[in-house]
Each structure stands twice: as structure tokens, then as C-alpha cells.
Structure 1
Amino acid sequence: MAREAQRPFPSINIFIILFFFFFALSPFSPQAVSASVFKRLQLFSTEKAQPTSTSSVLSLSLHPYSSIIKPPNNSYSDLVRSRLASDRARAKLINSKIERALSTFNRPHDIKPDAQVQPEDLETTLTPFGGGYLAQVGVGQPVKEFFLLADTGSEINWLQCLPCDGCSSVSRSIFDPSGSSSYSLLSCASQECASLGENRNCQADPCMFITSYGDRSTVEGEFATETVSFGSSGSVDKVAIGCGHTNQRGGASGILGLGGTPVSFPSQIQATSFSYCLVDRDSGKSSTLEFNSAPPGDSVLVPLIINRRIEVFYYVELTGITINGEQVSIPASAYQIGQDGSGGIIVDSGTTITALPAQVYNSVRDTFVKYAQALTRTSGYDGGLVKFDTCYDLSSNPTDGYPTMSLDFSGGKTLPLRPANYWFRVGDSAKNCLAFTVTTQPVSILGNIQQQGMRVTYDLANKMIGFSPNQC
């Protein structure tokens, strides 16, 4: 169905002049400037269809992955090893995506936006696994419910669709676009299609998307708009979403991309904020993923830093970790984004274990051990790609002896952690290990163990991230 053309942006020439003048003073390269201009001019495309705008709070139920999709593992130990393997693969892929983006900025002459994208050329950050969280989303008219992986490291929304080659057989997991009156294919010339970037595979209408993973498996299909429903809290029309007809990934019905790009879910529904509360991943409980809700009054608010070289991720500046009142300092260079866009630490909903540079990790570990002498220390744990060297036997269920711990952010903000935010249970027994590991990657990741049990608010309008304990 053809869209009604909107009036052109009235001051586009003035906008271009001012934009180039502003960035002429920036430390970024001319190539980065031109790429940034292109991205932002896309926002004023006369073809862009405006989704229903709303400032009301929209809410989805949010569930631990393994409470909805039962893992095939024979024991909890097997599940842990699977989670850890996927966790490190995800962390590596996030760094690969960032490195690729930075390389692209330095080589703009190599960019061929209309060239066909090959699966072997792509790497994205998504690796579905049992440590993530699933949002229950209504799609289409009439509405049908699907469980999509809520992922701050992904910019594309997609779900598996009929007809489908290799789709998961999980109950209610495959969408039939022919049964929805609100399903509308997008053209290759559309703003939404252009915003796909490397994930665009468009030789002729309709627009096609393709996304690939570290194991070279892919999801590909049509890019379309559809009505998305939020239980009883409302619905939004014309949300851009991929309809995957080839899917080599199992488990979840698809992805709810919460990253910071024009084609992500928050952007598509024009949300001023989104927030989630992650319950214990081993529980059968659920919480909510909310859009347009204000941060709770007791939130610890820290600056949300946008890396202009790669917009999908949400960065913060970690300055220290305090244990029993003793601060382990973190060098400023460790968690600040460099002039070339490298480095820094991101907050991620899908990564489990927080990774620290070796020097920082060693100081955190040694300080923790010093203040945990009342607990029973045991041998380390080898999880394959992840090895823990600081573990304790908590089978006696001690009520005290736990060190206090907090994360320190720029601006003098401090986030207290509960013991549950720094322990990771590694087997069927009561063996728990310190939930941090060493990374040699240039970008660090604040994992979801440190986020469990608190409402994490991404205040997009004010560029802040809020952490509010006990708000699930």
C-alpha cells in the first residue's frame, strides 16, 4: 500500500550548513562527520511513515529465558556451562561489531550500501541463550502473542514468519503475515529500509533484511511494518519489523531490538524512555519491560554516553568499585571512550558476566577476598571459556559475612549491590563464584547479574541511565 507523502523538512539546507559547521570543530575525522550527517539526514526523509505517537506508559511482561523455553540440558551444571559459553561468545561479538563499525568510519570509500550483503560478511551481537530475558509481545491484527528476546545490543526487530525454513517449533512461535490485516511490506526506497545499514539486502522491492551470527547461521526475510500491542496498555501502528522466512536459530520467536538506532524498537514507537527489571534468571517469576515511564524517585542516575561512531550501544563511565568502604580505583583511560570511538563500558541486558581488565579485576578480587574471610572459600571453577578463581561454599546459608559492594560512576554516583548481584552459582551445589571475569577486549560490558533485582531505566530524552534497587 503506498504511503501518503509528507511535506519536506522546511529548513533542510540550513540544517546541513549548521551541521557541517558544528562538526568542523569536533575531533572526529571528516569521514565520521559525513557518515553522521548521512544518518541524521535519514531522519528527515519524506518517505518516513510516522508511527502512532504516545506519551502513555506501555508495558510488556518480561520473563527469564529458561522459564519460558526449557533448556535441553541434563543438569544445572550443564546449563551453566552453556550460558557461560554463549555469554563469552556474545561479548566477543559485541566487540567485533564495534571494531567493524570503527573500521567502516575510517574507510568510507569501501561502503557500498546498495551492494548485496553476504552472510559471511556480517557479525551482529545477538546470541540467544538461557541467560537472557523474553518480552511477551502482541503482533498483528488480530493480535497474536510472541516471546521475543529483549536485547539492548540489537537494533533490528524481527520474528520468524510463515513460510519458514528452519524455524523453531516452540509453541505459538511462528507469525503468519497473511493472517494480519495490518501487515505492510516496505520498499527498498523507504527510510526504514535505509536505516538497516549492513543488514539491508535490497536488490528489488520489497525491502529484505539479513542478520548473521558468529556461528555463520542467519535470519533473513522481508522488512515490513506491523501493529505491535502491549497487553492491555495500548498498541502502536506501523512498527518496522523483520519477517524472517529463513531462520537457523532456535528458541525465541525473534528479537525486540532495544539498541540506540533509528530502526530500533524504542525509536520506532517514539519512546522517551524504556526500563526493565530483571528477576532472578532461575526463577519462574516475571517482571515488566516499560516504555515512557519515569525513573523511580530513588534511582541512581548516571550519564548515558552515546558513542557517535556506533549508536546501538549504551555506554556509562565506571570510575571505581567499592568493597567494604575501600575503593578499587579504575584508571580513567579504562572506561572512557577514546577520540577514535574505541574503549568504554556498555550496559547490556543480554550479557551475564561483567568483564574487567586484568589489573582492575585482580584488585577487585584481592579486596573482596580480604573482606570475605568469614565465608568458606573453595576451589575455583572452570567453565570452559570462562574461569572463576574466587569461589565460596554457601551451603550453610550464612546470614552475615558478606562484603558490601557498590559500583561508582562519574559524577560521584554510587550504586549499592546486593550479594545476589555479585554471586554466580556454578552448579547443582551451593558453590558460588565472584561474578566478574577478566577481559582482553577493548570494550567492557556491565552484565545483567549486576542489574538483577533493580529497575534499569534508559532515559533517552535526558540521556541518563537510572538504577533503582527493589523496584521489580
Structure 2
Amino acid sequence: MSIAALILTALLFVAVDSAVRDEKVASPPFGEPSFKGGFSLSIIHRNALTSPLRDSTLTTWDLFKEEIQLASSHVPVDALASEKIVVPSHFRRGLYLVPLRIGGSLDRISSRYLMFDTGSDLSWTQCYPCTDCARGHFPPYMPFKSSTFRSVSCDDPLCEHAPDASCDESGSGKCKFFRKYVDGSKASGYLASDIFHFSLEGNTDYHFEPEVVFGCATAEKSVFVREYNTGILSLGTSSLSFVAQVRVDKFSYCVPAPARRDDDDLALSYLRFGSQARISGKRIPFWSYNNKYYVQLKRVTYQHGNRLSQQQPVPIYPGDGGAEGSTLYMLVDSGTIGLWLPESIFYPLQKKIDTDISLIRVRFSDNPNAYCYRGTMKDVEEVAVTLGFVGGAEMELFGDSLFFEYNNSEWICLGFTPSNTTALGIYAQRNTNMGFDLSEREISIDQAAGCVS
């Protein structure tokens, strides 16, 4: 598997309910940490008023319907078992981005807007000359503008030991990658390194400037970077992920729910590293598999009603058809939009919601697995779904973490979809502080804290 595959294999939603083997979280490849502080990156909703990538014509439905189609498509078992075949659902359209600057000569470079992704293992961006690439709001990264840029050579140990990495046969001496995806998307280029720029906690006069290896894509045909962002910031568990390369043992993020109106204030939120990371609330042990984060889902329960008329929790899973003590491995993935649930959980849950809210269903001939209703968020404010995990922690989903509005807020749609895999996407994580403690191998979930600045 090439270094690029480490980036994009993280997009495979592997059905690992009975096959996950626990792998050690990768140790930093370049020695001990060079600092003891922390740093943060602001999180930008791609369509927020302050976003340079804002497209007022794009709706949440546009973002979600493609993922529904992917989640509902049953990938062949042999494809799921292979690390070389991926389902690039992350490459649809990232909602939450972080700005950072790459390269020396700061007066000559501008911010890149990258999707931060806990399911990816190598950061990458379009690089000039990008001869066959999607054209977006921002030009490709220009290595010649950076005084600190260098390409990874064929004889570099990094290239030699990276599975599927190969030497450029044209004689350039660069370590190249090529990737082809299940949906026909492609990405190719070479490995490179440059300076990534951050400010250290409590010291505005000093900037943390680590050298980071990343993928320099000179050709790509994917819908990922199409007009919206310029690449990936990888937060996976391999030794080539961003968190391993900058040598931090924890990170956290919190993404706020979208503003209801254009004049609403959207809470500031951050992707935090090192000492700035917020590790609080309930803790869940995670397992590393294919360099991604998995937790064990133990139960799913449903409730409807307000505090005065709250019904007893209705077990959906394990439920009638599940064995006591059974668990499902769930991928925790900031690069996925929705909550992906097995059909054995999704349909009983959808049926309960459908019965209790009593709204008219809106049907789409081209997307039968989309569940939308004529109504508003107020009509579903009494609906709650609780995910229970091994370790005892629970996560309650309601409102913006369970539904989204569509068609000028005249319709509401389920923010989860049936699939042959199980994944906790970014919608379900909204308004929740998600902390990743790599040394303790735990993910903390704090819904009480919210996205405080």
C-alpha cells in the first residue's frame, strides 16, 4: 500500500464487526516531541458567512444525498477485506475545514483549507503543476514559492519502506504514488515535505514550524477537492499521520451545529493539539484497525417525549434479534457526514421515529434510502437516540446531531442512513467535544461542554 494509500485507505468503511484486530497506535517516526506546549487551528464550516469557500446555492441535502448512495451500496466482501480498495466517501464534500499555511517564505504563501479527517493517514494537497486536477477556489500548492520544500527521493528510507511506494520511472528520482478508487476516482503524484506553520500556546512571538511529509498530488480526478477545499489534514493512527509527525499524544475538536439564519452567530471552534487539547467527559476505549479509530457499540435505545411525558427507553439494539452482550465495531470518522448504521438497527429505529412524529414522508425516486418529512426541527425536538459503548459511556443524539433541515427549512431529514458498515460521522458529533487520548487509547465524549471557545 503506497503512502497515498495511507491517506485514502482511511476512506474505506470496512465491515469489521467481527474482524477488528487491535493494532498499536503508531509511535512518532521522528523522535521525541520538540515542544511541550500545544497549538490550535480554527474550524471553519465550509458554508459559513466567514468562509472563503461559501456557496449559498449548496444545501445540506446536496452534501448528504451522495453519501446516502454510497452508504447504501453494498461493497463486495473481497473489496472490504482489501486495504488497497477504498470507498472514497470522504472525498465527497468536506463540511468542516481548518486553515493552515505550508512552506517557507510566509509573505509568499496563503492559507490552505484542509478537511481534518480522523479516518486518513497522510496529509495531502494539490501541487503545481496539477496537469489533470479539479479546479477550485484556490490554486494548487506551488513548491517553487517555498524555500523549505523538498521532494522525497527514491532512496529515502521513507520511500523504501512504504508499501506500494515506487520510484518515478521518468528519472526524476522522486518517490511517487498512484491511487485508483472504487468509484473511478484517481490521485497520483509524489511524496514531499515542507514546513507547516502554527502558533504555540501562550507565546505569540514564537511559531511552531514542524517539517511534515505529505502527498503532493499532481493529477487527481476525485470529487473531493472540487471547488471546496484543497486537501486533507490526516489525524489517523499511522506513523505518517499528521498527529504522529508533529509528535502529540492527544488532540480534540468540537464542531458546532449550523446557524439557523444568516444573521445567527456561529460559535467559534477549534481543532486542538497537545496541551491545548480538551480531554473531558465520558471515556471510551478505542481500537486501531487499518490505522483508524474504532469503538465498540453495545446498545442503541430510542426515546420520545418531553421531560414530563418521557417514554421508557425502547431497545433497538441488541433488541429482539441481538444476543445479550453483542457489540458492533463503529468507525469514528470526522471525514464522514452522516451516521451509518446496519440495516438491522436502522430500519427498526426509522420505523419508531416515523410512527411517533407522524409527518408526511417526502420521497425521492433517485434516492429511496433518503428519509425526509414535511416539517421543521421543532417537530422532532422530542426524539432522542442513545448510543451505548463498551466502557459504559453513552452518547445521546437529538436535534442537529440526528436530523438536518432542507428546502428552506420546510423539510427535515434523518441524519443517519442504512449501510453494511457502522460509522459515527461528523453530524452525530456536532456540539460535542471529541477528545482523542492516544497514550491512553481512549476517546472522550463531552456533550455538556459544547463548543466553547
Is TM (by shorter chain) over 0.5? yes
SS in 1 for 2:128: strand
Shift of 1:222: 2.1
Structure 1 residue 416 corresponds to structure 2 residue 416: no
**Counterpart of 1:110?**
none
TM-score by length of 2: 0.75
Code of the aligned partner of 1:268? Q
SS in 2 for 1:197: coil
CA distance in 2, matches of 1:335, 1:176: 54
**Counterpart of 2:361?**
379
Code of the aligned partner of 2:335? G
Higher relative contact order (CA 8 A, sep 6+): 2
1:139-218 matched pairs, under 5 angstroms? 139-143=102-106, 144=109, 145-194=111-160, 196-198=162-164, 200-203=165-168, 205-218=173-186
1:74-116, Cα deviation, whole Å (9 max, x unpaired): 563xx513432145437869x67x9547346xxxxxxxxxxxx
Structure 1 residue 65 corresponds to structure 2 residue 65: no
Q: 1:421 to 1:335 in 2, by over 3 A?
A: farther
SS in 2 for 1:162: coil
Structure 1 residue 351 corresponds to structure 2 residue 336: yes
**Counterpart of 1:360?**
345
Shift of 1:452: 0.7
SS in 2 for 1:175: coil
**Counterpart of 2:297?**
318
CA distance in 1, matches of 2:19, 2:156: 29
CA distance in 1, matches of 2:236, 2:69: 20
Shift of 1:403: 2.8
1:217-257, Cα deviation, whole Å (9 max, x unpaired): 32222211111112565424221111222233423111112
TM-score by length of 1: 0.73
Structure 1 residue 267 corresponds to structure 2 residue 240: no
CA distance in 2, matches of 1:368, 1:128: 30
Unaligned runs of 5+ in 2: 1-17, 202-206, 304-311
**Are the equivalent residues in 2 in contact too, given 1:301–1:464 (CA < 8 A)?**
yes
**Are the equivalent residues in 2 in contact too, given 1:64–1:282 (CA < 8 A)?**
no
**Are the equivalent residues in 2 in contact too, given 1:277–1:471 (CA < 8 A)?**
yes
CA distance in 2, matches of 1:90, 1:212: 19
**Counterpart of 2:285?**
303
Q: Which of 304, 310, 315 is 1:328 aligned to?
A: 315
Q: Which of 393, 414, 423 is 1:434 aligned to?
A: 414
1:325-367, Cα deviation, whole Å (9 max, x unpaired): 4142524789978xxxxx7210111222212222222332344
Question: What is the percentage of aligned positions where both structures have the same residue?
Answer: 21
Shift of 1:410: 1.2
Shift of 1:465: 0.8
Q: 1:70 to 1:142 in 2, by over 3 A?
A: closer
Q: 1:386 to 1:152 in 2, by over 3 A?
A: farther
CA distance in 2, matches of 1:335, 1:238: 46
SS in 2 for 1:262: coil
1:172-206, Cα deviation, whole Å (9 max, x unpaired): 442211121211221234343356434x2334632
Q: 1:350 to 1:405 in 2, by over 3 A?
A: same
1:39-70, Cα deviation, whole Å (9 max, x unpaired): 98xx79xxx65586333212111112334465
**Are the equivalent residues in 1 in contact too, given 2:336–2:426 (CA < 8 A)?**
yes
CA distance in 1, matches of 2:278, 2:424: 21
CA distance in 2, matches of 1:83, 1:292: 32
Code of the aligned partner of 2:114? L
Q: Which of 245, 252, 256 is 2:218 aligned to?
A: 245
RMSD: 3.7
1:379-425, Cα deviation, whole Å (9 max, x unpaired): 14438446244635127x46x96134322111221223342211122
1:125-166, Cα deviation, whole Å (9 max, x unpaired): 354334532111111112331101112222121111222213
